Structure 1
Amino acid sequence: MEDLFMFKAVFRDARLWYRIVDALASLIDEGTIKASEEGVRLRAMDPSKIAMIDFEMPRDAFDEYECDGEVMLGLNFDEVKKVVKRGSAKEKVQLEVPPGSARLKIIFKGKATRSFSIPLIDIEYEELPTPSLSFNVKATAMADIFEEALKDVELVSDYVKLEGRSNAIVVKGQSDRGEVETTLTTETGALLELEVKEEAIASYSLEYLMDMITANKAAEVVTLEFSSGMPLSLTFPIPGGGTIRYYLAPRLEE
C-alpha cells in the first residue's frame, strides 16, 4: 500500500535546494510556502517592509511531486536552513507532510538515507499582490560580476547608485571614504541583454542588496529592472525551473 501525503516533493540536488533556502532566509526569518497542484510559491515582505521576495517553483522542476489541494507550510527558515545544509549535490532531497501532521519531514537520499523532522509553525497567511510596476531599464547580468561590483561599493558606501545608460549599467558608490564605479556592458560579456526605454538613476540599500545577491549561488545570471527613483527588481532563474525574485524600495535622496 502506497503512503499518502498532503504534500510530497523530491528535488534532484540537495545542495542546490540548500542554496535556494539560503536565498529565502537572507530576507525573512519566517514565512509560509503555499503548495498547490501547480507547484510551490512564497511571497513575503521583510520585517521592515522595505523589500519583498517572490519565489516560485513549478511541479515540473521536481523529480516527484504530490499535493492534495492547497497546503500551507509555515516555516522558520533558519531552522530549515540548518537541516538542508547537511545535504550534498550527490543526494536527492525529499520534503513531505503526511495527512494530519504538523511537521515537515526532510529526507536526504544518497548512499545512505537520512531523515529529519521539524515542526511547522502557525503563521497568519497574507496573499500579497504582485507589485504593479513598469521599468525603463532591464538588464540581464552575470550574477557573479554584479556581486563583485556590489562588494566594491561596500568599501566606500552603505548605498548603491545604479545608472541605466543606453549602452551600459553603471554601479556606483560614493561617500567621504571615497568613490567607486563599475561599468557593465554587453560588449565585455558582463551583460547578456540590455533594454533601455529611458535612461534612469536610482539608489538602493547595499545591506539589502548584499543579502539578495546570495541567490547567485543558485543562479548564474540575474535580471535587474528599475526606473529613476522607483523600486528595483532582481530576478534569479533557477536551473531546471523556478525563480527567486526580489523587490527593493529605493533610497530617497536627501
Structure 2
Amino acid sequence: MSASVRLVFGDAREWRYIVASLAALVDEANFTIDPSGMRLRALDPSRIAMVDFNLPASAFEEFSCEEEVKIGVNFDELNKVMKRGRADERVILEVVGGRLRISIGGKAERSFSLPVIDIAGEELPLPKLNFTVRAKMLSDTLKDAIKDAELVSDSVSFDAKEDYLRVYAHSDKGEVEVKFTIDTGSLIEYEVDEPSRSTYPISYLSDMLKRAANLSDIAGIEFATDKPLLLSFELAGGGRLSYFLAPRLEA
C-alpha cells in the first residue's frame, strides 16, 4: 500500500464509540478512505444485518489522503485498542509499512500497530427499500424499550398506526408493550403512509443501540411491513451511521 494516509480525530472517546458501533456487527471489514472522507459498508457474518458508516474529511482535525485507499481491519483487535482512549485525548491513524498505526495522545502519546488485512470483494450496494414508516426519537428511549422487550422474548415487533408507534414482545414468559406518540413527546418526528408491522431479532437491535446511542441522542427508525428496518444516527461533524436489519418473518 503506497498511498499516504494520516487522519487526526480530536476526541478519542468518540472514535472509540464509532469503532465499537461497527464492531457490534462486523468481525473484519475495509475502511475506504479517499479525499472526501472515510466510509465503511459491510454485512454481519450471518448476513442478517448491514452497517453503513461515513464520516466526511471535515470531521477530522487533520485529513491527509490523496487517492482512494482500502484499509482492512480486524474490529475485535481495533476495538481493544480504542478502549484505551479517553475524551481528552486525540487519535492519529496512519498506514505505515502495511500496518495501521494508532497513536492516542494526551499527557503521554501511546502507539499501537495492527496488521492491515487483505479483504477481497466489491463494495456492497445499499438496499433499495420503500419505507412506509419514518420516526425519530431519543436513542435512550428506544434502547430502554428494547431492554424491556428483551425481558420476555428474543424478537420484537414494531407496529405503526396513524397516531402511535408500538414496540411489542410476547412469549410464554409474558408480554411487553411500549407506546410512543408525538403528543407525549416520546416521538420527535413521525410519518406513516399506511399501518405497518414487522418483527426483528432483539439481540441485533440491543447490540446496535447499546453502542450507537453513545454517538447520537436521536435515533431514526424506518420500516415497512415484513421489510428490513433502517436504524440511523447522525454523527458529529456531518457523519452518519446506519444499520439495516432483516425482519424475522412470523409463521
**Which aligned pairs between 1:154-193 and structure 2 lie closer than 5 A?**
154-193=150-189
The question of 1:206 aligning with 2:199 is answered no
Secondary structure of 2:213's partner? helix
CA deviations over 1:202-225 (Å, ceiling 9, x no partner): 000111111111211111111000
Q: Give the structure-1-normalised TM-score.
A: 0.95
CA distance, structure 2, for counterparts of residue 211 and residue 6 of structure 1: 34
Q: Give the structure-2-normalised TM-score.
A: 0.96
**Which aligned pairs between 1:214-253 and structure 2 lie closer than 5 A?**
214-253=211-250
Which contiguous aligned blocks of 4+ residues in structure 1 show a shift greater than 6 angstroms?
none
Secondary structure of 1:245's partner? strand
Secondary structure of 1:252's partner? coil
The CA RMSD measured in Å over matched residues stands at 1.2
Gap regions ≥5 residues in structure 2:
none
Shift in Å, 1:138? 0.3
CA distance, structure 1, for counterparts of residue 56 and residue 81 of structure 2: 23
The question of 1:136 aligning with 2:110 is answered no
Check the 8 A contact 2:56/2:237 in 1, yes or no. no
The question of 1:126 aligning with 2:122 is answered yes
Among all aligned residue pairs of Structure 1 and Structure 2, give the percentage whose two residues are the same amino acid: 48
Secondary structure of 1:251's partner? coil
Secondary structure of 1:56's partner? strand
Match of 1:49 in 2: 47
Check the 8 A contact 1:103/1:117 in 2, yes or no. yes
The question of 1:70 aligning with 2:68 is answered yes
Check the 8 A contact 2:55/2:237 in 1, yes or no. no
CA distance, structure 2, for counterparts of residue 6 and residue 225 of structure 1: 39
CA distance, structure 2, for counterparts of residue 56 and residue 86 of structure 1: 23
The alignment covers a number of residue pairs equal to: 249
CA distance, structure 1, for counterparts of residue 8 and residue 162 of structure 2: 44
Gap regions ≥5 residues in structure 1:
none
CA distance, structure 2, for counterparts of residue 183 and residue 12 of structure 1: 39
